[in-house]
């Protein structure tokens, strides 16, 4: 097995694990993409390519996730490809906000 096959097996096992546990397509998509792309890594990508950040939409891992996820979502849930892209895009768009929110000190005390 080469490196790309190992990545595919790992990604597919993560997706199927979350597909069994999840109660809806958005939850499945968010849980899966969080496991593959943490917020810190997602901050280094842009959904559409910029001059400073690479394109997440065309990234190998994202396209692999979309391939597996869309099959599961179409079989198990009623969701179209546009909605899948919207949910995945929001993960990358809001990653920086989640990272900075985690770094802020707790103001409740």
pLDDT at 13: 64
pTM for the predicted model, two decimal places? 0.63
Residue 108 lies in a domain: no
Residue 107 lies in a domain: no
What average pLDDT values come out for the chain (109 residues) when binned by 10 residues? 47 61 74 77 78 80 78 80 86 81 61
Residue 32 lies in a domain: yes
pLDDT at 14: 63
pLDDT at 1: 44
**Angstrom distance (rounded) from CA 102 to CA 96:** 10
**Angstrom distance (rounded) from CA 50 to CA 69:** 26
Give the count of domains, the chain: 1
Residue 58 lies in a domain: yes
Tell me the residue range of the domain where 22 lies: 3-102
Residue 62 lies in a domain: yes
**Angstrom distance (rounded) from CA 44 to CA 1:** 29
Q: What length does the chain have?
A: 109
């Amino acid at each position: 097995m080469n490196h790309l096959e190992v990545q595919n097996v790992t990604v597919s096992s993560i997706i199927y694990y979350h597909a069994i546990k999840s109660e809806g397509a958005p939850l499945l998509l968010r849980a899966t993409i969080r496991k593959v792309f943490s917020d810190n890594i997602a901050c280094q990508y842009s959904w559409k390519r910029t001059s400073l950040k690479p394109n997440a939409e065309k990234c190998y891992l994202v396209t692999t996730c979309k391939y597996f996820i869309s099959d599961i979502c179409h079989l198990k849930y009623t969701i179209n490809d546009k909605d899948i892209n919207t949910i995945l895009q929001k993960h990358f768009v809001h990653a920086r906000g989640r990272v900075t929110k985690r770094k802020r000190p707790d103001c409740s005390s």
